[in-house]
């Protein structure tokens, strides 16, 4: 039986592309929401989950950091996907005929220069591949979609313009998650440890908690805060550091962090992707 990897969106989404690139032997399983992706793995309908967390142009993907700690899943890998945006239209359409372009709001904001230059109006769709599917069904030469070449192939659309994104390094980072964590792996260019924590309600607790990473030579590559439980006073932090929890300097840093926090949850230990550098 072929192993499965779940992703959010329709077939042809950039998350689908990430699945093909990172796990080509797995069968991609489309899901309606991020919660559905997580549930598919938790219940055993899929072995892995592919979840986007950051885009180099747009920033972090909303909601993901709230879902990770309660998901019950663990990060086992990261994958970087170059996001090439293409203008897709029904067969035989000319660029001059297109008046409207539909896509997810994130993609609409990533190719403003092209759309403005050609006088194309932006229409918000549910997602990128879903917009391509809708354009194929409507079959109106005035309506195009912004999506991947994969979506164009799947839904039988012409590519009127390739790689129209404003920034030539537009990249999305994905996390690959599974039910079990594996602490035995070691990457060729190092490891990444991801965790969430809440600091104690004492003066300068965050400053003091971070001091252990500096004094022990542990590089923290990400630190993001977000509110939890609907309270302005309850702040949780998502962090990523270079290293493995069994490394001595990481152990010392985490021990110091533990002293100044109410809660620490390990989310994943995984090899660093060469493209993160």
Quote the CA–CA distance of 229 and 129 in Å, as a whole number. 33
Q: Which of 86, 55, 79 is nearest to 172 (CA)?
A: 55
174 given a catalytic annotation? yes
Quote the CA–CA distance of 203 and 221 in Å, as a whole number. 24
172 given a catalytic annotation? yes
Considering the candidates 26, 34, 114, 174, report the single residue annotated as catalytic: 174
Going 192 to 198 to 200 to 201, the CA torsion angle's sign is positive
Considering the candidates 93, 172, 193, 261, report the single residue annotated as catalytic: 172
Catalytic positions are 172, 174
């Amino acid at each position: 039986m072929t192993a499965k990897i779940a992703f959010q969106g329709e077939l042809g989404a950039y998350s689908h592309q990430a699945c093909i690139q990172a796990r080509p032997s797995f069968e991609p399983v489309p899901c309606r929401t991020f919660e559905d992706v997580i549930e598919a793995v938790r219940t055993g309908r899929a072995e892995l989950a592919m979840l986007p967390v950051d885009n180099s142009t747009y920033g972090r993907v909303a909601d993901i950091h709230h879902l990770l700690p309660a998901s019950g899943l663990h990060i086992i890998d990261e994958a970087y996907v170059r996001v090439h945006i293409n203008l897709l239209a029904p067969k035989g359409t000319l660029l001059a005929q297109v008046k409207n372009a539909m896509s997810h709001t994130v993609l609409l904001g990533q190719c403003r220069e092209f759309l403005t230059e050609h006088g194309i109006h932006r229409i918000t769709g549910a997602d990128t591949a879903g917009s391509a599917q809708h354009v194929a069904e409507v079959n109106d030469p005035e309506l195009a979609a912004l999506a991947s070449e994969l979506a164009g192939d799947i839904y039988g659309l012409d590519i009127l313009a390739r790689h129209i994104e404003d920034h030539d390094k537009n990249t999305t980072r994905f996390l690959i998650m599974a039910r079990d964590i594996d602490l035995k792996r070691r990457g060729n260019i190092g490891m990444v440890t991801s965790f969430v924590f809440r600091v104690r309600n004492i003066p300068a607790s965050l400053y003091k908690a971070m001091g252990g990473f500096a004094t022990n030579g542990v590089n923290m590559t990400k630190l993001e805060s977000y509110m939890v439980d609907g309270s302005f006073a309850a702040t949780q932090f998502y962090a990523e550091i270079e290293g493995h929890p069994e490394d001595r300097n990481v152990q010392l840093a985490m021990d110091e962090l533990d002293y100044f926090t109410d809660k620490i949850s390990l989310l994943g230990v995984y090899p660093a992707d060469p493209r993160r550098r």
